[in-house]
Structure 1
Amino acid sequence: MAETSEKQVMVVAIDESEHSSYALKWTLDHFFKPVPNPLFKLVLVHAKPYATSKLGITGPGMAEVLPIVDSDLKRTAARVVEKAKEICGKKSQVTDVEVAVIEGDPRNVICEAVDKHHASILVVGSHGYGAIKRAVLGSVSDYCAHHAHCTVMIVKKPKTKH
Structure 2
Amino acid sequence: MASTRRLGVAMDFSPCSIKALQWMVDNTTKEGDTIILIVINPEEYEHGEMQLWADTGSPITPLAEFCDSALSKKYGINPNKEVMNISTTAMEQKKVDVLVKIYWGDAREKLCESIDHIPLDSLTMGNRGLGTLRRAIMGSVSNYVVNNATCPVTVVKSSEQNH
Do the structures match in fold with TM over 0.5? yes
| Counterpart mapping for 1:67-106 below 5 A | 74=76, 77-80=77-80, 83-91=82-90, 92-94=92-94, 95-106=96-107
Flag structure 2 segments of 5+ consecutive residues without an equivalent. 46-72
CA deviation vs aligned residue, 1:79-130 (integer Å, no higher than 9, x gap): 34x5422221123234311101111111111111111122121111011111
1:46 alignment counterpart: 39
Query: Which residue number in structure 1 is paired with residue 145 of structure 2?
Result: 144
RMSD: 2.3
Secondary structure class of the residue paired with 1:78: coil
Question: Structure 1, unaligned stretches of length 5 or more?
Answer: 53-70
Q: How many residues align?
A: 131
The aligned counterpart of 2:127 is 126
Q: State the 1:159 CA deviation.
A: 4.3
User: Structure 2: how far apart are the matches of 1:125 and 1:18?
Assistant: 9
- Pick the structure with greater CA Rg: 1
Map Cα deviations across residues 21-51 of structure 1 (whole Å, 9 max, x no partner): 111111111123xx6x34x321110111225
SS of 1:89's equivalent in the other structure is: helix
Q: Distance in 2 between matches of 1:47 and 1:157?
A: 19
**TM-score w.r.t. length of structure 2:** 0.71
Q: Distance in 2 between matches of 1:25 and 1:123?
A: 10
Moved >3 Å (runs of 4+):
none
